[in-house]
Structure 1
Amino acid sequence: MKKLIIAFLSVGFLMTSCKKDEEVKAEAKPTLELLTSNSSKSWKVKDGIAKQNGLEVNLIASQNPCVTDNIITLASDFTYDFLEGASKCDANDPNLILSASWSLSQDESIITIDKFIFLGRTVDNPAFVLSEVTETTFSGTTTLTLEGETFDVDVTFEVVN
C-alpha cells in the first residue's frame, strides 16, 4: 500500500511539474510583441561597444547626450521613426531625424533596418543579431564597415518611459 501511495504522489508531482513548464512556455511573448507592444514602442541606446582586433571602445560614454538620447520607435507594421531625444545638438534640428522600415527574420533572431544613423554616420541595411529581448531591454550585435574599417558592435537598448 505504501508503494502505491508513493507511486500516485510521484505521478501527481510529475503531472504538476509538466503543467507548470507548459504554462511558463505559453506565457512567453513573441519577439515582435516585446519590441513593439503590438503597436509601437520607443527605445534608446543604453550601451554600445565597438570591437576590432581585440580592442574595445565604448561608443556611448564619450558622446554628447544630444546624440545618445535619441529615440527609435519600432512599430508593429515594420516601420520605424528615429527621433531627437530630450536634448538637441542644434536647436534647429527637426524632431524627426529619419523614417524607414525594418524587418524581423522568420525565426525572430535578426532585425534588419533599411537605414540607420548612428554617431553622425548613415548605415544602410544593418543586420542586428538579437541576443536578448525583454519587456524593457533588447541587445545584440551587428557588423559595421565605416571608412574601410570593419567593427563588431554590441548594442543594448532600453525602453523609453
Structure 2
Amino acid sequence: MNTFLRASLLLLVCFSCKEETPAPTKTELLTGRPWKWVGGAVTPAFDVFSNGNLSNGEYWSQAPKCWQDDIRVFTTAGKFTHEEGATKCNVADPQIYAQGTWQFDASEKVVKINDSALGEQMWEIQELTATTLKVVEVYQEKGKTYTFNYSFTR
C-alpha cells in the first residue's frame, strides 16, 4: 500500500505540473506574418484620396479596391514594407510600394517607421494581439493637426 501511495503521489505531481508558455513579446506579435489593412478613419476632415474631396471620420468604405488588399510587413531585423496586394491601382506599380525601417520606443507603445514613401511616421499602438493591430497616427500639414486611425488584421 505504501508503494502504491508513493507511486500515485509521484504521478500526480509529475502530471499536474505543466510548463507555462510565456506570453509573446510585442516584437513577436508585430513581426512574423503580414498585416492586411482593413480600416481607416481621420479627424478633422482631410483629403485622404488626394482627389479634392474631404473625408471626415471613417473613410475605409470609400477607399479604392486597390488599397483594400495592401499589407504591411514588419521583420525582427527592423525592416518594414508596405506592399500592394493582388489588386494594384496601376499595373505598372511595383509590388513593394514603400520600404524602410521600424523600431519601438522605450515603452513599446509607439512604433516609429521610417518609410521611403511617407517619411517618418509614429504609430501609437491602441491594440496589438496575434490577429489585430490598431494604431493612431497624429499628422500635421499646413498648420493643422489630423488624427488617423488604422486597423490591420491577419
User: Is the alpha carbon distance of 1:68 and 1:145 closer, same or farther for their aligned partners in structure 2, counting shifts above 3 Å?
Assistant: farther
The normalised TM-score by structure 2 is 0.73
Q: CA deviation at 1:148?
A: 4.2
Aligned position for 2:102: 102
Aligned position for 1:83: 83
- Counterpart CA distance in 1 for 2:22 and 2:59 is 35
Aligned position for 1:42: 34
Write the deviation string for residues 42-73 of structure 1: whole angstroms up to 9, x where unpaired: 112111110128x9422311111102211111
Aligned position for 1:135: 130
Q: CA deviation at 1:147?
A: 4.6
Q: CA deviation at 1:131?
A: 1.3
Aligned position for 1:14: none
Q: Which runs of 5+ in 2 are unaligned?
A: 1-19, 46-54
Q: Which runs of 5+ in 1 are unaligned?
A: 1-22, 117-121
Aligned position for 2:52: none
Higher helix share: 1
Aligned position for 1:114: 114
Map 1:28-67 → 2, pairs under 5 A: 28-37=23-32, 41-52=33-44, 56-67=56-67
Give the CA RMSD over aligned residues.
Answer: 2.4
In structure 2, what residue type is equivalent to 1:30? Answer: T
In structure 1, what residue type is equivalent to 2:133? Answer: F
Q: Which runs of 4+ in 1 moved over 4 A?
A: none
In structure 2, what residue type is equivalent to 1:98? Answer: A
In structure 1, what residue type is equivalent to 2:115? Answer: K
The normalised TM-score by structure 1 is 0.70
In structure 2, what residue type is equivalent to 1:66? Answer: C
In structure 2, what residue type is equivalent to 1:47? Answer: G
Matched position secondary structure for 1:152: strand
